[in-house]
Amino acid sequence: MDLDLSAAEPFRAEVRHWLRAHVPATPLPSLETGEGFAAHRAWERELHAARLSVVSWPEEYGGRNATPLEWLVFEEEYYAAGAPGRVGQNGVNLLAPTLFRYGTPEQLARVLPPMASGEVIWAQAWSEPGAGSDLASLRATATRADGGWLLNGQKTWSSRAAFADRGFGPFRSDPEAERHRGLTYLMFPLDAGGITRRPIGRIDGKPAFAELFFDDVFVPDRDVIGDPGEGWRVAMSTTGNERGLTLRSPGRFLAAADRLVELWRERGDPADTALRDRVADAWIRARAYRLKGFETISRTDDVGAESSVNKVFWSELDVALHETALDLLGPDGELEGEWLEGYVFSLAGPIYAGTNEIQRDVIAERVLGLPRAGR
């Protein structure tokens, strides 16, 4: 057992050097606005030109074959540098791993390069009005048509869909089949004829997600991922990534915890030991998450359902860390600013990617081996 990171240090130095020269001096406008979305897309282009937008991907798709350790190191440097949020993360972190597992060579060659450069930004379209935590009850349909499929129905809470270019998600392709059976995983353009998108203001009013209405939207066969009818299996390969390390890398929390300690130094009252202890806890938990990440990439077995343990941990850490920052800011905590933006973002964490209640059920059943519940 060791924690020798030296193999990744040359890469760390290169990334740090590049970021120091390129990270915008003033934060970009919020990526949940039209203006901010465009600015973040331009930033992705800049990262891509330096081959830093998707470091762990193969070179042919715009990456540089970085090892998992190098990827973790990249993330540490990225967030420590205060670099912009990743507007393309739903594609890069959720769709790409699914394509690497189930996509055809043609799909990989066609979809990945423009994803890497930010030319095409992807939105995840999974939830429906009647299918949130109970995803298997989804009802939006894909019906056979000449050379492809016609999509009908409604998706909702689709992150980034207000401004994104394309979407992906499971649709019911066999109306006779129930729940996990008879689903097909598809990619579709968000500006296609027949799609209506209605941006939804999140809790602070910014249009961070959208409702999508499908009215005979045509999708060619080449945009089906995996076999028709196998959509549940394909979708589940995404959830592992979503709940595991890739969506929320340790670097993000390490940087936020360091900034929290900085805020404590500037504004903390040394006599307020209760608040000081919360700062300490946030820092300790961010460190724990980092070390757990090193453990995860060191393992040779499949992490599987344990990714749910991860999701509960980081989503609760994110909320606690930002609550502590707002408490340190006192009466200024309610004012618009980076901490408040981070706080609002963190509040969604225990809800998206499968609520933490669903995660705890997964942990109970598939990690601890408790009997299947009647719920």
Partner 1 sequence: MRFVLDAEQRLFGETLDKLLTEAAVAGVARDWAAGRHGPGLALWRSLAAAGVLALAVPESAGGAGPLPVELVTAFHELGRHGVPGPYAETVAASVLLGRLPGDSSSAAWLPAIADGTAVVSLALPPAVPYALDADVAGLVLTVDGGELRAAVPGEARTSLDPARRLFAITPGEVIAEDATAATAEGYDMGALMCAAQLVGLGRRLLEVSVDHARTRRQFGRPIGEFQAVRHHLANALVGLEYARPLVYGAALSYGTPDFATDVSAAKVSAAEAAYTAARIALQVHGAIGYTDEYDPSLLIRKARALHSAWGSPAAHRARVMSALAH
Is residue 277 part of the contact set for partner 1 (CB under 8 A)? yes
Contact pick of 147, 291, 304, 335 for partner 1 (by CB under 8 A): 291
List residues bridging with 155 in a β-sheet. 212
**3-state secondary structure string, 222-280?**
HHEECCCCEHHHHHHHHHHHHHCCCCCCHHHHHHHHHHHHHHHHHHCCCCCHHHHHHHH
| Active site amino acids | 242
Is residue 369 part of the contact set for partner 1 (CB under 8 A)? yes
Shortest separation between residue 295's beta carbon and partner 1, angstroms: 5
Q: How many other CB atoms sit within 10 Å of the CB of residue 200?
A: 16
Is residue 43 part of the contact set for partner 1 (CB under 8 A)? no
**DSSP 8-state symbol, 305:** G
Rounded Cα distance between 149 and 108, Å, is 20
Our CA dihedral for 103, 105, 111, 115, rounded to 10 degrees, sits at 90
Report the Cα 326 to chain-centroid distance in Å.
24
* C-beta of 72 vs 111, nearer to partner 1: 72
Specify the stretch interacting with partner 1 by CB under 8 A; choose among 87-95, 132-140, 192-200, 274-282.
274-282
How many residues line the site for partner 1 (CB under 8 A)? 49
SS3 53: coil
In the stretch 245-264, what mask flags binding to partner 1 with x, by CB under 8 A? Answer: ----------------x--x
Shortest separation between residue 7's beta carbon and partner 1, angstroms: 7
Is residue 13 part of the contact set for partner 1 (CB under 8 A)? no
Contact pick of 181, 194, 276, 303 for partner 1 (by CB under 8 A): 276
Instruction: List the interface residues with partner 1, window 312-331 (CB under 8 A).
Output: 312-313
Please, what is the end-to-end C-alpha distance for the chain in angstroms?
41
Is residue 9 part of the contact set for partner 1 (CB under 8 A)? no
Give just the sign of the alpha carbon dihedral 93, 99, 105, 109. negative
Is residue 137 part of the contact set for partner 1 (CB under 8 A)? no
Binding site for partner 1 (CB under 8 A): 1-5, 7-8, 69, 261, 264-265, 273, 276-277, 279-281, 283-285, 287-289, 291-292, 294-295, 298-299, 306, 309, 312-313, 357, 359-361, 363-365, 367-375
